[in-house]
Amino acid sequence: MQENNMRDIWVGLFVALGIAALTLLSLNVSNLLSLPSGQGYVVMAEFDNIGGLKVRAPIKLSGVVVGRVENISIDPHSFRAVVGMNIESKYTIFPKDSSAAIYTSGLLGEQYIGISPGAEDTVLQSGDRIALTQSAIVLETLISQFLFNKAAEGDKK
């Protein structure tokens, strides 16, 4: 009986350890906790070009993640990309004239939306649209502009 008891304890310990490992993996290693709790508010922003922005990309203010991209669609009239940004409700702090820009973290990193706060007193509410936006930098456009400028300089000489 004594030996059996020891065995039960070991099995209990094993199962507890395993379940603890599963929970730790789910909570600490994956993004389960950093998901917005679903109680955020959605703000829209129109961009000319979103580059490689993906759904669930982070939205940052001063580098702090305040929300996630919820959906990306096309406005059929203006042909521009409309990005729905789900911002956590505890961050109802953005002035109405805030601007949004698409940045890349690092040279090869993922793209995210950075918000720069404006100066107005009224804050963005659910369903509002951010008017001032700056598109993602597309490397090819940048290079072709650079080459074009170089060529123009060459003509002048």
Partner 1 sequence: MMRPVLNVLAHLGRAVLDALARMGRWFVFMLALFPALPASLLRPRLIVDQLYQVGVLSLQIILVAGTFVGMVLGLQGYSILATYGSAESLGVVVALSLVRELGPVLTALLFAGRAGSALTAELGLMKSTEQLAGMEMMAVDPLKRVVAPRFWAGVMAMPLLAALFSLVGVLGGFAIGVGLLGVDAGSYWSQIQSQVDFREDIVNGIIKSIVFGVVAVWIALYEGYDCLPTAEGVSRATTRTVVNTSLAVLGLDFIMTALMFNV
- Name the residues that contact partner 1, by CB under 8 A: 7-8, 10-11, 13-15, 17-19, 21-22, 24-26, 28-34, 58, 65, 106-109
Minimum CB distance to partner 1, residue 84 (Å): 20
Is 44 or 85 the residue whose CB approaches partner 1 more closely?
85
Strands of 17-56, DSSP E: 41-47
Report the DSSP beta bridge partners of residue 102: 113
**Least Cβ distance, residue 6 to partner 1 (angstroms):** 9
Q: Nearer to partner 1 by C-beta: 29 or 151?
A: 29
Q: How many CB atoms lie within 10 A of CB 59?
A: 26
Which of 41, 112 has the CB closer to partner 1?
112
CB of 82 to partner 1, least distance (A): 24
CB burial of 15-25 (b: ≥16 within 10 Å; e: otherwise) equals: eeeeeeeeeee
**Phi, psi of 52, rounded to the nearest 5 degrees:** -105, 25
User: Nearer Cβ to partner 1, position 8 or 75?
Assistant: 8
Distance CA 157, CA 146 (A): 17
**Residue 30 CB, nearest distance to partner 1 (Å)?**
4
Q: Rounded to whole angstroms, what are the CA distances from 146 to 52, 101, 141, 142?
A: 22, 22, 8, 6
